[in-house]
């Protein structure tokens, strides 16, 4: 009995945790969140098709796309008899397995699934190739219409191509109202009329079939038939989908019918701060960070490494060739210059040894990497204890966090690597480039960064100090582009770094446009990102590291 209670309590805690997890969408948006324990089951069991958006909540692209996806989902609410809309957050540790198995290498990714879908090595769903709403609707129309549905309430897209078939349909009289259309956009018309539950719609392959109903096939494109077999041609203003819909719905309304209401507009927004519950711990962190001079927090570096090892890297399906090399370089860099304590350093050392024994002609699966991390960790005292961002704390949900910690980690590594002079010049930036190219999940960030690497000639940088400055400048370019963006945290506005108040001698004058003095900036960065200056604030014990 006690055990059962405990189990129930645990389940309850898990459910509450899932509810409190920041999410871009809610059920009012007609978008259901699925995860590792529900995605495959839902796709397998459902008699409906599915549109799944795979996201990384930390990814600016996904946040910027969310309002558009919500509008799409609201439109698809009208098609709910055939399709459901889901989202899966690949940034959650529990979803690593499914995101790897579904081969999600960038986000946002949209995939279509037929009813009773079962994943296999080769079948991972149909990729939707666009994020433009109308293009998505067109692709979905073709995909949805290519399916034979089993449930009586679901539409039949197969065109009627013989008089016998037309007659058989009329005599079966399955719904009160039957509309027959001949149109190149018949599939879309069938979908858009789904909210009229008393109506079924079928396409006629040839207009001549209207003749068999006593209508003039040369004149008719749309007719409505009752159970007595009486057919009436309906007028059309033009050949557009809208004209067909207007004609039929006018008639149905005149006959006293009403469609299923559209999705009520919900006011839930990706950034609604009022819904966000800043717990006491986060409020305290935020107050501390905002009231302290800018500095680098060890907790953020630890979090970035934690997420890399447990989520971002094991999410990769297969490391081979260039991506294996990128993995080896990244782990080498981390092994050399990470700020973790003894057991953390040991973990990275052993992990680096593990990936290094795979040569260029072999391959390593993300699953094998994941298992290795877990196995190594079991042999060591608990390493990642903080589990919270400190300097990267956000004042609103879904902001900052991982990408902020990642930047912090990269700058820290650049300074450490230049100081230690272990790696040859150029290797540091090549490692960052390899990470972004092969493992960074935000598609836009990757495109921008790779374009910038080319424009700013990343691979021409051979001097270690120049690598530190290259990364600093690149980050400032991104800060400038993102200033004022919807993904900006108002409490942490995007500024050119360091600000005048952080480093007054880094620029020629106080003016916004004043040129930088690179040697001063370098000295500033070396100090700011030095190991001695790391703050332990927010770690489990005040001096949590030996």
Ligand X SMILES: *[C@@H]1O[C@H](CO)[C@@H](O)[C@H](O)[C@H]1NC(C)=O
Ligand Y SMILES: Cc1cc2nc3c(=O)[nH]c(=O)nc-3n(C[C@H](O)[C@H](O)[C@H](O)COP(=O)(O)OP(=O)(O)OC[C@H]3O[C@@H](n4cnc5c(N)ncnc54)[C@H](O)[C@@H]3O)c2cc1C
Residues near ligand Y, by CB under 6 A: 60, 294, 392, 400, 403-404, 406-408, 411, 436, 444-445, 448-449, 472, 475-476, 478-479, 482, 487, 489, 492, 497
Do you find a cis peptide bond into 413, omega within 30 degrees of 0? no
Q: Which residues bind ligand X (CB under 6 A)?
A: 36-37, 94, 103, 105, 124, 142-143, 146, 216, 218, 237-238, 240, 242-243, 246, 266-267, 317, 341-343, 359, 361-362, 381, 383, 385, 511, 513, 540, 544-546
CB of 436 to ligand Y, least distance (A): 5
Instruction: Kindly list the distances between the CA atom of residue 264 and the CA atoms of 28, 51, 85, 189, in Å, as whole numbers in the listed order.
Output: 8, 20, 16, 22
Closest to 491 in 3D by CA, of 287, 272, 277, 282: 287
Give the residue with the Cβ less far from ligand Y, 200 or 408: 408
User: What is the number of other CB atoms lying within 10 angstroms of the CB of residue 131?
Assistant: 17
Q: Is 199 exposed, middle or buried (0-12, 13-18, 19+ CB in 10 A)?
A: buried
Instruction: Tell whether the torsion through CA atoms of 435, 438, 443 and 444 is positive or negative.
Output: positive
CA-atom Rg of the chain in angstroms: 29
Cβ contact 531:291 at 8 Å: no
Take residue 505 and report the two structure tokens written for it. Answer: 């001698």
Give the residue with the Cβ less far from ligand Y, 213 or 506: 506
Do you find a cis peptide bond into 108, omega within 30 degrees of 0? yes
CB of 478 to ligand Y, least distance (A): 5
Instruction: Kindly list the distances between the CA atom of residue 13 and the CA atoms of 7, 9, 19, 24, in Å, as whole numbers in the listed order.
Output: 10, 6, 10, 21
CB of 302 to ligand X, least distance (A): 8
103 binds, among ligand Y, ligand X, none (CB under 5 to 8 A by kind): ligand X
CB of 526 to ligand Y, least distance (A): 11
238 binds, among ligand Y, ligand X, none (CB under 5 to 8 A by kind): ligand X
CB of 489 to ligand Y, least distance (A): 5
Residue closest to ligand Y, measured at CB:
60
Give the residue with the Cβ less far from ligand X, 288 or 317: 317
Determine the longest span between alpha carbons in the chain, in angstroms. 91
105 binds, among ligand Y, ligand X, none (CB under 5 to 8 A by kind): ligand X
CB of 55 to ligand X, least distance (A): 16
Give the residue with the Cβ less far from ligand X, 268 or 526: 268
Cβ contact 47:149 at 8 Å: yes
Give the residue with the Cβ less far from ligand Y, 82 or 392: 392
CB of 468 to ligand X, least distance (A): 26
Taking the C-alpha atoms of residue 371 and residue 68, their distance in angstroms, rounded to an integer, is 38
CB of 165 to ligand Y, least distance (A): 54
60 binds, among ligand Y, ligand X, none (CB under 5 to 8 A by kind): ligand Y
Take residue 509 and report the two structure tokens written for it. Answer: 């004058």
Take residue 295 and report the two structure tokens written for it. Answer: 């500095």
Give the residue with the Cβ less far from ligand Y, 209 or 409: 409
Closest to 178 in 3D by CA, of 216, 102, 234, 242: 234
Cβ contact 54:111 at 8 Å: yes
342 binds, among ligand Y, ligand X, none (CB under 5 to 8 A by kind): ligand X
Closest to 412 in 3D by CA, of 525, 329, 536: 525
400 binds, among ligand Y, ligand X, none (CB under 5 to 8 A by kind): ligand Y
CB of 452 to ligand Y, least distance (A): 9
492 binds, among ligand X, ligand Y, none (CB under 5 to 8 A by kind): ligand Y
Residue 217 gets the label, from left (phi > 0), alpha (psi -120 to 50) or beta, of alpha
404 binds, among ligand X, ligand Y, none (CB under 5 to 8 A by kind): ligand Y
């Amino acid at each position: 009995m006690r055990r059962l209670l405990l189990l129930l309590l645990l389940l309850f805690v898990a459910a509450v945790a899932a509810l409190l997890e920041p999410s871009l969408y809610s059920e009012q948006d007609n978008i259901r969140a699925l995860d590792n324990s529900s995605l495959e089951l839902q796709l397998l069991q459902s008699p409906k098709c599915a549109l799944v958006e795979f996201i990384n909540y930390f990814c600016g692209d996904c946040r910027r796309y969310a309002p558009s996806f919500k509008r799409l989902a609201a439109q698809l609410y009208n098609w709910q008899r055939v399709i459901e809309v889901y989202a899966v957050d690949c940034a959650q540790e529990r979803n690593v397995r499914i995101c790897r198995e579904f081969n999600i290498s960038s986000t946002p990714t949209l995939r279509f699934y037929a009813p009773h879908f079962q994943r296999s090595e080769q079948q991972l769903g149909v990729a939707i190739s666009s994020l433009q709403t109308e293009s998505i609707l067109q692709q979905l129309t073709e995909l949805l219409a290519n399916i034979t549905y089993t449930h009586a309430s679901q539409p039949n897209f197969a065109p009627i191509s013989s008089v016998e078939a037309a007659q058989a349909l009329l005599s079966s009289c399955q719904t009160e109202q039957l509309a027959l259309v001949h149109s190149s956009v018949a599939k879309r018309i069938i979908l858009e009329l789904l909210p009229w539950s008393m109506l079924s719609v079928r396409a006629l392959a040839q207009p001549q079939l209207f003749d068999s109903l006593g209508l003039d096939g040369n004149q008719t494109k749309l007719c409505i038939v009752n159970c007595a077999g009486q057919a009436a041609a309906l007028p059309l203003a033009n050949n557009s989908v809208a004209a067909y819909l207007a004609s039929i719905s006018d008639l149905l309304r005149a006959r006293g019918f009403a469609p299923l209401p559209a999705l009520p507009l919900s006011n839930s927004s990706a950034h609604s701060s009022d819904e966000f519950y800043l717990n006491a711990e986060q409020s305290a962190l935020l107050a501390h960070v905002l009231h302290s001079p800018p500095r680098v927090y060890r907790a953020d570096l630890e979090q970035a490494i934690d997420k890399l090892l447990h989520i971002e890297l094991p999410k990769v399906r297969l490391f081979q060739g260039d991506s294996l090399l990128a993995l080896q370089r990244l782990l080498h860099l981390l092994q050399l210059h990470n700020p973790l304590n003894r057991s953390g350093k040991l973990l990275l050392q052993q992990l680096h040894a593990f990936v290094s024994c795979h040569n260029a002609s072999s391959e390593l699966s993300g699953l094998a990497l994941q298992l290795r991390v877990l196995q190594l960790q079991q042999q060591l005292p608990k390493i990642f204890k903080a589990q919270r961002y400190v300097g990267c704390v956000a004042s609103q949900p879904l902001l900052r966090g991982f990408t902020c910690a990642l930047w912090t980690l990269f700058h820290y590594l650049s300074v450490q690597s230049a100081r230690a002079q272990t790696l040859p010049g150029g290797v540091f930036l090549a490692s960052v480039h390899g990470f972004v190219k092969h493992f960074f999940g935000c598609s836009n960030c990757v495109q921008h960064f790779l374009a910038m690497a080319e424009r700013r000639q990343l691979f021409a940088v051979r001097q270690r100090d120049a690598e530190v400055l290259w990364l600093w400048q690149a980050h400032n370019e991104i800060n400038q582009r993102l200033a004022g963006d919807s993904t900006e945290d108002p409490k942490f506005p995007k500024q050119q770094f360091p600000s005048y108040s952080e480093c007054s001698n880094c620029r020629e004058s106080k003016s916004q446009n004043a040129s930088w003095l690179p040697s001063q900036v370098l000295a500033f960065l070396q100090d700011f990102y030095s190991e001695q200056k790391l703050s332990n604030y927010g770690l489990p014990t005040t001096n949590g590291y030996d």
